[in-house]
Chains A and B, each alone.
Chain A
Amino acid sequence: MIRNLLLVCALLFVSSLSIYSLSSGDSRADFAYVNPSGIHTLDPVRMSWTPDFRIALNIWEGLTTSDPVTTEPIDGAALFPPDVSSDRLTYKFTIRDDARWSNGDSVVAADFVRGWRRGLEPGTAGDYQFLFTDHLAGAREYLTWRRAGVAELTSLSRIRDGWTLTPDQARALARCPTFSQIHATADSIPEPPAQDAADLAWQRFADKLDGLSIDWNACYEAAFAAHISEMDQRFTKVGVRASGKRELTVRLARPCPYFLDITAFPTLLPCHESIERLRERYRKAPITAEGLVVYDPQWTKPDYRRNGYPGLISNGPYRLADWRFKRRARLGVNRFHRTADAIACRTVDMVVYDNVSAAIMAYEAGDLDFLPTMDVPYDHEIARLAQSGARPDFHLCQTFATYFLSFNCVSATVGGKPNPFIDPRVRRAFSLAVDKAKIVNNVLKRGDRVARSFVPAGTIAGYEPPIGLRRDVPEARRLLAEAGYEDGRGLPPIELLYVTADERICQALARMWERDLGVRVELRSKESKTFAEDKANHRYMIARGNWYGDYHDPTTFLDCLITGNGNNDSGYSGAAYDVLMSRASTAADPTERAELLQGAERILVEEDCPILPILHYAQPIAIKPYVKGLHANARLRFPFCYVSIER
């Protein structure tokens, strides 16, 4: 009896689990594609991954959008082209009167100001904050002020709550005006060390602060009130303003010939006002106690209801109909969009397959119509099928991306060994000794293009990158000898830092250098997170790198090597390069600008060689023959509103 009862219970448990975890199988969408990793985030200002961009650009619409074939900017939520002032610094966009959110509301200029401000504010901003600080007038100043405010409020709130400050927080506290006031009035406060003093000194200072009887709460309240009262006033100096209900005025910090390309980028998408219901508030102020702008991160879900929030509202051709974590996202047509009636694929499924091989099998079985990536260990075989024409549904996208090596140009020693790459001659010698064609054609065989320059050649109209260095082993050996390392003598073992996936390419490189230059190369393979940290802190001699261009302009690549740029992993600082880049940033004439940029890039790949471009990726994709309106393109943008199924 008991045994039967147990059996029934177990069966009931299993079947209820099945019902809970298996959804009733919906009908298949009109169009289904794969996203192996799933969505990282749907918050446009936080996203950095191409698959996330893809969804965002289908459910939202910026001031401009991208042409499905050429990816050049075309009209979006605003009339195209906008009014541009004669100094090319002020853009006046007029939002179309038929631009609608997915709940029927009109899209207004304030929605763009809201969206852009989220992309700038500490707390909400992500990797692409620089799009605002680099281009919008006043944005950098506003951010600097906000960051100082956040640092001050954080330190004060932590010390008020009884926590010992970290060295960084103690530094921030000593910098802020509130502290100067206390310091001037109370004589019990210890003298803070110099700002650039070691962490230990600051830690001691922080420990001393613990024992003081100061009314930190009052200090905090005063600082908080002061910051709040200034915040909106300060933001009016940033170059984005709703000058009318449908008029958006944008002021740039410098002329930017590619600005209409940037306005199609996900970080510059608008944001519906309903999000304000999910804003975190501290004592009715629109920031947290630490001064950050924070929204409930679940606002991107279509069925999220809290505080009267109606679920995600977007303004693109599609809306997010359903999103199951790591399983599927379904898009349905936004019936208020001006092109809604013309869209052929009424439903689109983004299906998650962690395993790309399984996704390829599902594609073969007809469960998927489109594979935007085929990153598998047998990618050379896929490239062969695509190139030979044996599989006309396989295509290779020659991407707007470069795989390169960074030489460490700053650290005198690496891991206790002298770093020879501070000498540009050594960098040039190593660059000259690499046979890139061999790597592309004999080692990888994926259909990639040999890279002579950092900017992929032939991708930007009006810009021709320099020729770059050709393989020249005698010249390489001569340069090495000139630098004092004849036949590689006197060189320490060269450390090549890479992530595990680059095994083949790095072994080939090591072999070339060992054979042709007589050096000894040590391969150091690291897991991606520790690799990133080593690279950012210059704990390497040579490191692999890759870069995907974000907008159609050489600066999307070349800016990385400017002195002090956050992505300047080689730590390169070239006075001539910086001058040319700075002159290019203000040049009004397009031809002159292109020449300046070309000159700068020549320094990069022919003279100083802080980086060594190896190849431009070819990304294999698969499109079923009955799918029309999808085009292989360099930036891997695939707007689904132009897609139709013709069986």
Chain B
Amino acid sequence: MTTLLVRRLLLGAMTIGCIYTITFTMVITIPGNPFQQSQRNMPPEAEQALRVRYSMDNDWLYFWEFLDGAIHLDFGPTFTYSDWTCNQIIAEALPVSILIGLLAILIAVMIGVPVGVLAAVKRGGWFDFASLAFVLLGISLPTFVAGTALLIVFGVYLPITPVGGWGTLAHLPLPAITLSLPFTAYIARLTRVGMLDVLGSEFVRAALAKGLSPRTVVWKHAFKVAFLPVLSYLGPATAQAMTGSFVVEKVFGVPGLGQHFVNAALNLDPGLIMATVLVYSTLLVLFNTVIDLLYAWLDPRITGAL
């Protein structure tokens, strides 16, 4: 187990190192002047002065300085929002993204799993078809449409929640629900398929024949097995929910990290691009490592395979 952990961590560090190098290369080769922020053209001398100020006149110098900073968890300045450091921006925005992502996954599990189980149990009934419709809608409806619709209904027509923004508990439900929609749909589908598989198996028939109530059979015996594929999906899904909330942030005005990730690239802000990429990739690598370790812990047979 320890060797596995060490190996995975080393591999993770190497992955992040590669991501940093590739991102850095892209950042310095991309056309455009990162210092120009407005319509006015910047005098070449002024641009040169700024390049010097941020050690960007020499690519290698910049590469090592940024890496050195990043290792000490200091991502340096941003050019788009020069009064703030990348660290402050991440400290403000990352908890918001994590919170929304976790809540979305929580909602997805709490709704998706029962829906999937019920749909499997009442296979072919109206509930199954209704859940199928919901799944289709959840997967195919873009979040910006669903989010705007929710915003108009609950924010403007029935003013229950505030119209976007951030700051109080009332701001949480709409973005979390919107973000959870595709995950809910997928989990419901996974649960239904897993459940159908299990319900047809012999041990379920045996349990029923033994005289156990269908309720006990479904929830106590069949569900445990049917949940495994959902569990394996939860790892990447959680990472995806935390890092992929850009559209939801945009629609609801949630100050999460996704907007900085996208805007940094649009604004050509080298520090912030690399900082957000590094944070996101670390998060992803970390999640994958944790899931792998969990697997190894649950099923020691696969330790060797990892």
Contact = CB atoms under 8 A, between A and B. Distances in A.
B84 interface: yes
Interface stretch (B97-105, B188-196, B221-229, B270-278): B97-105
A125 B46 contact: yes
B41 A362 contact: no
Given A20-B95, A354-B259, A127 B38 contact: yes
Given A325-B88, A358-B251, A122 B156 contact: no
B215 interface: no
Contacts of A353: 164-165, 253
Contacts of A292: 49, 52-53
Interface stretch (A451-459, A524-532, A587-595, A614-622): A524-532
Contacts of A43: 82-83
A530 B167 contact: no
B128 interface: no
Interface string A278-307: 000000000010101010011011000000
A14 B103 contact: yes
- Between A14, A46, A327, the greatest number of chain B beta carbons within 10 A of the residue's beta carbon is seen for A327
Interface string B24-51: 0000000111001111111101101100
B255 A325 contact: yes
Contacts of A46: 82
A362 B163 CA distance: 5
Nearest to A326: B255
B88 A365 contact: no
Interface in B37-80: 37-43, 45-46, 48-49, 52-53, 57-58, 60-61, 77, 80
B169 A18 contact: yes
A358 B164 contact: yes
Interface in A333-365: 351-355, 357-359, 361-362, 364-365
A547 interface: yes
Contacts of A529: 31-33, 36, 266-268
A392 interface: no
Given A123-B53, A533-B31, A358 B83 contact: no
Contacts of B95: 17, 20-21
Interface string B146-163: 001001100110010011
A122 B32 contact: no
A573 to B, nearest CB: 16
Contact of A325 (B46, B84, B99, B167): B84
Contact of B61 (A163, A359, A532): A163
A264 B89 CA distance: 32
A13 B106 CA distance: 13
B102 A354 contact: no
- Most A CB contacts (10 A, CB to CB) among B48, B77, B171 go to B48
A464 interface: no
B166 to A, nearest CB: 6
A238 B205 CA distance: 94
A41 B82 contact: yes
A355 B249 CA distance: 9
Given A41-B81, A43-B83, A354-B253, A361 B151 contact: yes
Contacts, number: 181
B297 to A, nearest CB: 12
Nearest to B94: A21
A367 B95 CA distance: 25
A140 B57 CA distance: 25
B252 interface: yes
A298 B37 contact: no
B92 interface: yes
Q: Which residue of A41, A151, A355, A536 has the most chain B CB atoms within 10 A of its CB atom?
A: A355
Interface size on B, as a range, is 35 or more
Contacts of B3: none
B55 to A, nearest CB: 10
Contact of B32 (A40, A294, A530, A548): A530
A324 interface: yes
A77 interface: no
A606 interface: no
A548 B39 CA distance: 9
A42 B81 CA distance: 9
A14 B80 contact: no
A387 interface: no
B31 A364 contact: no
Contacts of B167: 22-23, 25, 327-328
Contacts of A42: 83
Interface in B245-295: 249-253, 255, 259, 266-268
Contact of B57 (A23, A41, A154): A154
Of listed B83, B85, B250, residue having the most chain A CB within 10 A: B83
Given A158-B57, A362-B163, A324 B151 contact: no
Interface in A117-137: 122-123, 125, 127, 129
Given A13-B102, A41-B81, A164-B58, 14 more contacts: A21-B166, A41-B82, A48-B37, A147-B49, A150-B49, A292-B52, A297-B77, A325-B92, A352-B253, A354-B253, A365-B162, A529-B36, A532-B32, A566-B43
Interface of B: 31-33, 36-43, 45-46, 48-49, 52-53, 57-58, 60-61, 77, 80-85, 88-89, 92-93, 95-96, 98-99, 102-103, 106, 148, 151-152, 155-156, 159, 162-169, 171-172, 249-253, 255, 259, 266-268
22 contacts: A13-B102, A21-B99, A22-B172, A38-B81, A40-B81, A48-B37, A49-B38, A122-B46, A123-B53, A125-B46, A292-B49, A297-B83, A298-B83, A298-B84, A325-B255, A327-B92, A353-B165, A354-B253, A358-B164, A533-B32, A547-B39, A567-B40
